[in-house]
Every structure is written in structure tokens, then in C-alpha cells.
Structure 1
Amino acid sequence: MMNAEKLRRDFPILFQEVNDEPLIYLDNAATTQKPKQVLEALAHYYETDNANVHRGVHTLAERATKDYEAAREKVRQFIHAKETAEILFTRGTTTSLNWVAKSFVDAFVKEGDEIVISYMEHHSNIIPWQQLAKKKRAILKYIQITEDGFLDLEDAKKQITEKTAIVSIAHVSNVLGVINPIDELVTLAHAKGAVMVVDGAQAVPHMPVDVQQLDVDFYAFSGHKMCGPTGIGVLYGKREWLEQMEPVEFGGEMIDFVHLQDSTWKELPWKFEAGTPNIAGAIALGSAIDYLTAIGLEAIHQYEAELVDYCLPKLKAIDGLTVYGPQNSEDHTGVIAFNLEGLHPHDVATALDMEGVAVRAGHHCAQPLLTYLNVPATARASFYFYNTKDDADRLIEAILATKEFFKNGAI
């Protein structure tokens, strides 16, 4: 059984006071905290192995290259890809999705083709497709959401047609806290000859993911949302598609040979990684994967479900509080978006911060979704495995104190 109290000791940042209150960090959907093992991996690289990869033959360069490529293998195992050639290091989910839109999809989408996404997508899984649709005169379509906050599969069957070239959907919503049925969407997309792209930023840190079992064509995620550092991410792509893609960036490291008027590219995956990569970030991501694997992704998933099962009913019992997305804890991930009647989410988040409770407030880079829900913004609490039921209680207490303050002017 997972021991959250023990695990949280690995996270130095959690043991501080904010506004004279113990920090309760509930903004994990935005970014997660880093365990000391990951921080030590970053420091170790810079203190002992700092050198460029793939280029030098001296000892430091060879050690850096070995650890960098070892991290790629850890990613492959973590998401169960077939081979390391299918694992590309990027800056994060946003970069990964842009690479697919700019390089792969741009090459074969033509005027009149359809690109299908949903109303619950993060901006990073909307804007690249908007730009592509404008450039190619393609048609961007949205799958609707049911009244209880789920992706509408019946509407998906209508939106995905013989003209659909791309279907791109979030595995887990960063606002509604739902896990989308990627396997069913893959079946729908492939039946129409479409390519399936998945934004896995909110899924990979919280649950087991097997890209081969899902049969997705592309899968993107970020290191900083899974206990790794910022500035490092992953794009998984099936070899058959990556072979057809042209690099998005050009320069050193990704070339095979440079002639005066033309150049040739390295083999996968290096043809996509131009210049000096985020070596320290990749190595530290590998350390984060080691850390999460030792805990167990299934254990993390089950523990977060227990936290939500504990917290969600308490939130819903607060008079004037609205929870968005599924109303049953079994259908909810650790992401819970809510509003307090009569209060702007920014005021709520500011008041909670005065109590030491860190939550998110705003549109969460999902403005089409909030427009669809007919709200300008929400507050959002998001849990991870180092959070506890005591953290959930502190959240409830802080919300009740906030209500009292805005009602009577005192906390």
C-alpha cells in the first residue's frame, strides 16, 4: 500500500509556509513538484558529466551520451513503445503537438479534409490545428460533451467521417477530470483511415499508458507534469509515420551529411533533435520515471481515486459550490474544477492562498471548453500521490473560510 506521508518527504518544497500557513499544494495539473532524487540527477549531470552528447569521444561526453540515451529507453519502457527510435525528446506537450501538425499532417492534409478535436481540449491541442486548417483550407470539427461531462461518443461517430484526416484528443481533460475512451476513438479513426493523435499530458503521470495496446499513431506528454524538470517532453510516433516526417528544425546533430546545396538526415530518432538537446532534462526525466515506476502507476491511479472519493462529496456538500465534469468520484481523476456562487475564481484562489492552499484559477488554457460550459473561469484543485486526506480537509476548510470572509468580512 502506498504511503503518501512517507513519499512526501522526498519533496523539499512541500515543507514550507505560505502566508504563515503550511503549504498545501493542489496545482499539480499545472506542474508537479520534484523529488530530491530528480533534483540530485540534475545536479549530478552538471557537477560530474556536463558535456555534449553524440559528438565527443572523451569520457564526459561518452557518459553524458550513455545517460541521455538510457533515459530514452526508460521512456520507451514507461509507455511501452516498440523501439527507442519512436521516442523523440521535445520541449513538452505543446512542442510535440506542433511538430505533428507542422511536419507530419501538413504534408498530406489537403483542402476539404477534416480535422476532429473536442470541446475539452487544451489550447495546445487546438491552435496548431486551427492554423493548419487555415493554411490548408481544411475543416476543423469539434466533438461535443454530454451534460454530465463526458466526451459524447455518439457525436464522435458523426464527426469522424471518410473525410477525416486527423483525430486529436486529450487522454485526460485538464479541467473536467475525465478519462477519455482513447481505444474506442482509435477504432473510429482508423476505420475511416484517419490518424490518431493523443495529448497525454494529464494521463501519463497518473495512470499506466501502453501506446501499443491503445494503437495510437502519436502520443505527446511533458516531463514537468510527472515529477520531472521543465523544458523536456516526449513525442511518441509509430515508426511508419516518423519515417515520412521531415524535421521541424534544422542544424547540427540531426544531419547525416551536409553538401553545398543539399543535406541528408540522420536516422530515427536523431533526425528530429537538432542542436544541443536538453541533456540534463532528459536524464532527470529518466530519474522521474525511475521514481514513478518504483511507486507503481496503478498504485498512483488507485490512490488518487481514493483522494477524490474522499474530497469530492465534501466539495459538493458546500452550499453554492458547483463542480464541473462528472459528479461521481469513480468517473473523476484528481482534477476538480469548481466555482463558488457570487465569487470570481481569482478571488477564491487568492483567499485560499492566504490559507496556504495553492489552487489554479482562470480558463486553464481551455477557453472553448469554458465557453461551452458558459462560465468565464473556474478554480481548480488537482491532486497527486504526495497529497493526503489532510490536504483535502484543509482545502474544504479554506473554502468554507473564504465563504465566511466574503459573507461577513472576516476569516
Structure 2
Amino acid sequence: MSQRNLEALDVGAIREAFPILQREFNGEQLVYLDNAATTQTPDPVIDAMSDYYREYNANVHRGIHHLSQEASIAYEEAHDRVAEFIGANGGREEIVFTKNTTEAENLVAYAWGLNELGPGDEIVLTEMEHHASLVTWQQIGKRTGAEVKYIRIDDDGRLDMDHAADLITDDTAMVSAVHVSNTLGTVNPVSDLVDIAHDHDALAFIDGAQAVPNRPVDVEAIDADFYAFSGHKMAGPTGIGALYGKKAILEAMQPYLYGGDMITKVTYEESTWNDLPWKFEAGTPQIAEAVGLVAAIDYLEDIGMDRIEAHEQELARYAYDQLDAEPDVEIYGPEPGPDRGGLVGFNLEGVHAHDLASIMNDHAVAIRAGDHCTQPLHDKLGVAASARASFYVYNTKAEIDDLVAAIDNARQLFA
């Protein structure tokens, strides 16, 4: 990183753009540490969406009046902005807007998988996959007869890349892997996985839901065939995500949803499909949300994605060290470093994760507890649930101190 990128963020100034962080519960100020689920939304994003509804709210690609033209331009250019943000050189034709990462995974699984997979084919996932990937490809495997296999993780929560190299073979048709684990915080070597997949003529889908919000991502450098992420995890609105797909692959795929705007010509007997990316965006799309997503991208890039990554890693290291000093706290995932993202999953001995989260809520500390949509991974870890503290650009070390203090309160209650 350059010297500029190593400069500490002015977190105090950043927090001023997030009015929700000033809320108080039971006389205590909110400490929001559930960012891996959903980040908070800054004023510029809220203002951009409000401006859309106040000034040019209309349907896109439907009307010739001024409002529709303005909305259509904003919506189309949102695809361009997303493509630029993640390094998709093919531009808007390689960016499909979805509701979220889960829908993007399903789009590929149904539009590509149902047509291309069959008995004898293999789908390779990782043991740390989110249900968005695991359940989707599991069910596609059942429908098509393709076999689903899983790359092991080691005791530190990292992928066993030797096992990956053995598991991915010429029978492999798709490798789907999470870029950053939402439970372990592990940053996976996705470029290496993609290379292995391509060596065997398999496609690669990367789930970037926990990566795009907090680090620079270049899909061309990764060389993924598909890459997906969600707006609500990157200071943007809910209800919108993006699927990047290589143009040639998207062109060969059949639509996933049918209806208005994804067609070119319709008769009572036949229909033909619209150009990319519109053939995958049936019906009235998420126009306001697309405007908000662009505002979120602008906001994050003004801060600097490399600086956001450095800030999260600093917080993760601090939280890891503080929790690691507690003898009755078990932490999951690798030690802090380049291959760990900005979250810490843990359990307090003798206290169920749900009880721990409830006690923290009494002290206005918001964390996540449960299986985090990774039930098989929790089974492998030998725990029913875990607590998770996840950080973003507006969090501070003082808030991590509040987290540790709340853990101590729980410890005393259950002593």
C-alpha cells in the first residue's frame, strides 16, 4: 500500500454520516457490530435515493417522457459504475442486477446449471460455503445428477489447497467458493482456485458478499467466470446485488426469469430475448436501489477501498487479541493477517451464543449469534452456534472494548 493508503481513517468524521449510530438503548449508545449481516447506510446514499423518488421516479425502458428517460439513464449507468468498481472491462453487458448474492447464485445455478450439468459431472464447493451457495448447488446436483464435493478446511480455518488440487478434476464442471468466509473470516486464495478450475475446463463462481464491501476487488485479475455481491453489505440499500459474468458465458445462457423488458419480440408462439444484461432482468427492476448502490460505491471509493481494508484488519486484530486473552473464549478461523477479514467468530464457555447476544443487546452491543447460514461448517467445528462480531469503516477500538466488557457481564451472570 502507498503511504496515503496507510493513513488512519478519520472515523469520527465518517460516523457523522451515519445518524443511526447515534441511537441509544437503555441509556447506552448503540455499538453496531453486525456488519457482516448488513452495514449501516450513510446520508449520501439515503439522499441519492430520496432524490430519485422526489425528482425522476419513473419506470425504465418503458416511456419516452423526460422522467423515464432520466431514470433509464441513471439505471443503465449504474451498471457501468458497478463494472468499473470491480474491474469488469466488458462494462454493463457483464453486470446483472439481482436482489442479492443469493439470487445471483440461483440465477447461475438455474440458467446455467440445469442446462449444462448431468450425471458424471461434479460441482466442487468448500466446507465453509454460505447456504446461498451450498444449498443452491446441492439442490441443482439432485436435479441434474451431478455430484457435489467439498474442499476441506484445516484446523486453522484455511482451505486445504492440496485437497482442492486433488478434488478438482476433468469431471468438474463448476467450482463455487466464498471469497471471504462470513463465519471464519478466512480470505480464500480465489485466484488459485479459479486457476485450478480452468486447468480442468471448469467454470468458477466466487461469492464476494464479504469481500467487495471492504477490499479492492478486480474480477479480471481473479479471472472468475462469475462473481457476485450484495449492496446492503457495503453501505448500500437492501434489495439489490450484482452478478458479474463473462460476456460469452452470459450470452450462451438462457434467461432465469421471464416477463417484461427481457424480451425483444413476442408472439403467441415464440419469444426472443433482449441484449445483455437486460435479458436477465425481467420486470420492473430495482431503480432506486441501483441509484443508491452507485452512491454507496462513490462514498466508499472516496474513502479508499485499500484504507477500508486496512482499518478492518486493524480492528479484527485488536478484537482477536482482546478475545484471545480471555481463557474461556474460543475463537474460530485463522489468526489476524492478510488472509483474515474484518470479523471474529467466537464462543464463551458455558454460555450459548444466543444468550450471549441477548445479554450484549441489554448493553446496546449488537452482534450476530447462530449458525450464520453455515450449518455444516458449525457441525464440523462441533458447535451448534457461534457469536460473531463484524466490523466496518465506522467502527472503533473503543467499541471493541465495549464488546469485551459485555462479555464479562455475561460471564458474571452465568458464573
**Shared topology, TM-score over 0.5?**
yes
1:143 corresponds in structure 2 to 151
SS at 1:183's partner residue? helix
2:342 corresponds in structure 1 to 334
Structure 1: how far apart are the matches of 2:112 and 2:305? Answer: 31
How many residue pairs match? The answer is 407
> Which letter does structure 1 place at the counterpart of 2:367?
V
2:407 corresponds in structure 1 to 399
2:53 matches 1:46: yes
2:388 matches 1:374: no
In the alignment, is the contact (CA less than 8 A) between 2:124 and 2:151 conserved in 1?
yes
SS at 1:309's partner residue? helix
Structure 1 residues 402 and 329: CA distance shift in structure 2, 3 A: farther
Match for residue 76 of structure 1 among 83, 90, 97: 83
In the alignment, is the contact (CA less than 8 A) between 1:53 and 1:64 conserved in 2?
yes
> Which letter does structure 2 place at the counterpart of 1:8?
R
Structure 1: how far apart are the matches of 2:85 and 2:312? Answer: 19
Match for residue 305 of structure 2 among 297, 301, 318: 297
Structure 1 residues 350 and 329: CA distance shift in structure 2, 3 A: farther
In the TM superposition, what whole-angstrom CA distance separates every residue of 1:288-328 from its partner, at most 9, and x where no partner exists?
Answer: 01101111110100111111222211111112000001133
Q: Percent identity at matched positions?
A: 50
Match for residue 188 of structure 2 among 170, 177, 180: 180
- 1:332, distance to aligned residue in structure 2 (A): 2.2
> Which letter does structure 1 place at the counterpart of 2:113?
V
2:15 matches 1:8: yes
TM-score normalised by structure 2 residue count: 0.97
In the alignment, is the contact (CA less than 8 A) between 2:319 and 2:344 conserved in 1?
no
2:217 corresponds in structure 1 to 209
- 1:405, distance to aligned residue in structure 2 (A): 2.0
- 1:47, distance to aligned residue in structure 2 (A): 1.1
In the TM superposition, what whole-angstrom CA distance separates every residue of 1:31-76 from its partner, at most 9, and x where no partner exists?
Answer: 0000011011111111111100111111111111111112111101
SS at 1:131's partner residue? helix
SS at 2:252's partner residue? coil
Structure 1: how far apart are the matches of 2:241 and 2:232? Answer: 8
In the alignment, is the contact (CA less than 8 A) between 1:312 and 1:329 conserved in 2?
no
Deviates more, 1:329-338 or 1:167-176: 329-338
> Which letter does structure 1 place at the counterpart of 2:192?
E
Structure 1: how far apart are the matches of 2:389 and 2:27? Answer: 21
Structure 2: how far apart are the matches of 1:69 and 1:283? Answer: 10
SS at 2:244's partner residue? strand
Deviates more, 1:387-396 or 1:166-175: 387-396
1:193 corresponds in structure 2 to 201
> Which letter does structure 2 place at the counterpart of 1:30?
A
1:270 corresponds in structure 2 to 278
1:58 corresponds in structure 2 to 65
SS at 1:224's partner residue? helix
In the alignment, is the contact (CA less than 8 A) between 1:309 and 1:330 conserved in 2?
no
2:86 matches 1:117: no
Structure 2: how far apart are the matches of 1:16 and 1:276? Answer: 35
> Which letter does structure 2 place at the counterpart of 1:205?
P
Structure 1: how far apart are the matches of 2:108 and 2:248? Answer: 14
Deviating beyond 2 angstroms after TM superposition, the runs of 4 or more aligned structure 1 residues are 327-332
2:318 matches 1:310: yes
Structure 2: how far apart are the matches of 1:208 and 1:329? Answer: 16
- 1:110, distance to aligned residue in structure 2 (A): 1.5
1:353 corresponds in structure 2 to 361
1:250 corresponds in structure 2 to 258
> Which letter does structure 2 place at the counterpart of 1:224?
H
2:38 corresponds in structure 1 to 31
1:98 corresponds in structure 2 to 106
Structure 1 alignment gaps of length 5 or more? none
Structure 1: how far apart are the matches of 2:96 and 2:312? Answer: 29
> Which letter does structure 1 place at the counterpart of 2:400?
A
Structure 2: how far apart are the matches of 1:355 and 1:58? Answer: 53
In the alignment, is the contact (CA less than 8 A) between 1:253 and 1:275 conserved in 2?
yes
Structure 1: how far apart are the matches of 2:363 and 2:32? Answer: 11
In the alignment, is the contact (CA less than 8 A) between 1:178 and 1:333 conserved in 2?
yes
- 1:188, distance to aligned residue in structure 2 (A): 0.4
Structure 2: how far apart are the matches of 1:84 and 1:183? Answer: 23
Structure 2: how far apart are the matches of 1:122 and 1:39? Answer: 29
In the TM superposition, what whole-angstrom CA distance separates every residue of 1:101-122 from its partner, at most 9, and x where no partner exists?
Answer: 0001221111121000011000
TM-score normalised by structure 1 residue count: 0.98
In the TM superposition, what whole-angstrom CA distance separates every residue of 1:7-31 from its partner, at most 9, and x where no partner exists?
Answer: 0110011001123211000000000
Structure 2: how far apart are the matches of 1:201 and 1:349? Answer: 23
Structure 1: how far apart are the matches of 2:126 and 2:262? Answer: 35
In the TM superposition, what whole-angstrom CA distance separates every residue of 1:246-267 from its partner, at most 9, and x where no partner exists?
Answer: 1111111111011120011111
Structure 2 alignment gaps of length 5 or more? 1-6
In the TM superposition, what whole-angstrom CA distance separates every residue of 1:113-166 from its partner, at most 9, and x where no partner exists?
Answer: 100001100000011111111111110000000111101101101110110000
Structure 1: how far apart are the matches of 2:317 and 2:374? Answer: 25
After superposition, the CA RMSD in angstroms is 0.9
2:239 matches 1:231: yes
Structure 2: how far apart are the matches of 1:151 and 1:370? Answer: 16
Structure 2: how far apart are the matches of 1:49 and 1:18? Answer: 37
In the alignment, is the contact (CA less than 8 A) between 2:188 and 2:339 conserved in 1?
no
